[in-house]
Structure 1
């Protein structure tokens, strides 16, 4: 699979020795991304592209959904920044790590409920659950990044490893 991706990207730049096309594409995309986020003209181009995509019938729903999900994980507008433990079962007692996304669901007729994003292990997907606020407690001993790493790794990343990374 990686070989196919490499060959496809490498083939985008014709008449180059093997590997140079891949390198040129990666460097070009990186430079365009950097310039686009640092300078007015680049920002204007990205904003214009976004405007066109959000106003194109059919594409706007897919584009805006992908943009929102990506911006939730990276950039200045990270939304998964409040890690919580959620009791998902009483007997036996089972807790999962998640991220509080809405702390009041009363406007939707669900008084006392909160919305929590529960990431899947080894994926960037997840699901949203609505639970009583009494079943949620704030994660005190991890940052949002450490909590996401813990969740996505399937719990393989331990608190000790996170502490070791903080020190280094």
Structure 2
């Protein structure tokens, strides 16, 4: 085996190792960054409102217990989700929600973020109807998601709103297109369609989990 062949083989092993380790490393990094961020800010907040709860170090600062902040956030989110299912709490949350949605300035930020999260989860999910949409030409198709099937307020009676995600990004574009330029995907799930679009078409489709 020549030196060139050996180097080529080593390079192939490098690429194979990179393909295996890169997704793992990026995922671990993202989770660790969130983990450390929450752990970094919560001890100070807890020490301010509940002095002595965590104890203090030699400098008088609240002791940072690794993982405690992340666990507390998870417990708070789960607890809020649990109590919001009760009638009284649900009504209070609904009232608070209306106040925020009618407050000038805050309304824009709050309603936009709320709609964004509800689009992916909950009872108002929007990205659950995956389609192929022809925008740039009759023979060119893109993966998209129907978010509105009626656009009467825009004066469009035969159009639907289609969100087209961009590859390797958390962004996308919204198009108003005629309904006859849209094909509903029935053989793959919306989750697989989203992964396929974001990955640039390199993600394998799970054939065992059709929509």
TM-score by length of 2: 0.64
CA contact (8 A) 1:12 1:21 kept: no
Cα RMSD between the aligned structures? 2.8
Q: Which residue of 2 aligns with 1:108?
A: 154
CA distance in 2, matches of 1:49, 1:39: 15
Question: Offset of 1:73 from its aligned partner?
Answer: 1.1
Question: Offset of 1:53 from its aligned partner?
Answer: 0.7
CA distance in 2, matches of 1:48, 1:102: 26
Segment of structure 1 superposing worse, 120-129 or 78-87: 120-129
Q: Which residue of 2 aligns with 1:43?
A: 90
Q: What secondary structure is seen at the aligned counterpart in 2 of 1:88?
A: strand
- Inter-CA distance 46–21: structure 2 relative to 1 (3 Å threshold): same
Q: What secondary structure is seen at the aligned counterpart in 1 of 2:83?
A: helix
CA distance in 2, matches of 1:73, 1:103: 17
Question: Offset of 1:163 from its aligned partner?
Answer: 2.5
Unaligned runs of 5+ in 2: 1-29, 48-53, 55-62
Rg bigger for which structure? 2
Structure 1 residue corresponding to 2:114, chosen from 33, 57, 67: 67
CA distance in 2, matches of 1:109, 1:34: 39
CA contact (8 A) 2:39 2:70 kept: no
Q: Which residue of 1 aligns with 2:166?
A: 120
Q: Indicate whether 1:163 and 2:207 are aligned.
A: yes
Q: Which residue of 2 aligns with 1:97?
A: 143
Q: How many residues align?
A: 163
Q: Which residue of 1 aligns with 2:66?
A: 19
Task: Give a deviation string over 1:51-94, Cα, whole Å, max 9, x none.
Answer: 22112121112211221221111001112222110123338x43
Segment of structure 1 superposing worse, 120-129 or 67-76: 120-129
Deviation >6 Å, runs of 4+: none
Task: Give a deviation string over 1:98-125, Cα, whole Å, max 9, x none.
Answer: 1123345465344543321112334443
CA contact (8 A) 1:86 1:136 kept: yes
Taking CA–CA contacts closer than 8 Å with sequence separation of 6 or more, which of the two structures ends up with the larger relative contact order? 1
